[in-house]
């Protein structure tokens, strides 16, 4: 799940597509939240671009309460992200793509630019 989707899930769930919402809610699905998402939300909060301080400060607790699984950033993810074609300039999204590719998991995101990488995008 990308940062925007997690923020909407937390603050404005009505902004999620029906498909994204049902996929996240489906108890048969494991919902991974990348460390890159925590990093991006923290930076945007610190810059005043996002009002997510409570989410950021209680991130692990929030994920646990929601039943989401933390996804650490492995060196292989970082290398893969760095070597991706430059279809997308956002380093956080590139890292999500690299993790999705390596782990064969979809990304929940409204960002159509991710489609250029051949990952399954749920929106």
* pLDDT of amino acid 91: 95
* pLDDT of amino acid 8: 97
* pLDDT of amino acid 119: 97
* Spans of all domains in the chain: 3-122
* pLDDT of amino acid 30: 97
First to last CA, the chain: 10
Tokens of 7: 């923020």
pLDDT tens-digit profile, the chain (123 residues): 999 999 999 999 999 999 999 999 999 999 999 999 999 999 999 999 999 999 999 999 999 999 999 999 999 999 999 999 999 889 999 999 999 999 999 999 999 999 999 999 999
* pLDDT of amino acid 14: 97
- For helices 3-11 and 35-46, the axis angle rounded to 10 degrees is 70
Q: Is 83 strand, coil or helix?
A: helix
CATH-assigned architecture of domain 3-122: 3-Layer(aba) Sandwich (3.40)
* pLDDT of amino acid 60: 96
């Amino acid at each position: 799940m990308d940062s925007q989707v997690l923020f909407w899930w937390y603050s404005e769930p009505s902004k999620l597509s029906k498909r994204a919402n049902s996929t996240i809610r489906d108890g048969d699905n494991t919902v991974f939240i990348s460390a890159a998402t925590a990093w991006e939300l923290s930076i945007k909060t610190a810059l005043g671009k996002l009002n997510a301080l409570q989410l950021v400060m209680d991130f692990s607790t929030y994920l646990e309460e929601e039943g989401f699984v933390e996804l650490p950033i492995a060196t292989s993810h970082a290398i893969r992200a760095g070597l991706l074609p430059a279809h997308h300039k956002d380093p956080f999204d590139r890292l999500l793509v690299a993790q999705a590719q390596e782990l064969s998991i979809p990304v929940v995101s409204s960002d159509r630019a991710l489609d250029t990488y051949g990952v399954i995008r749920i929106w």
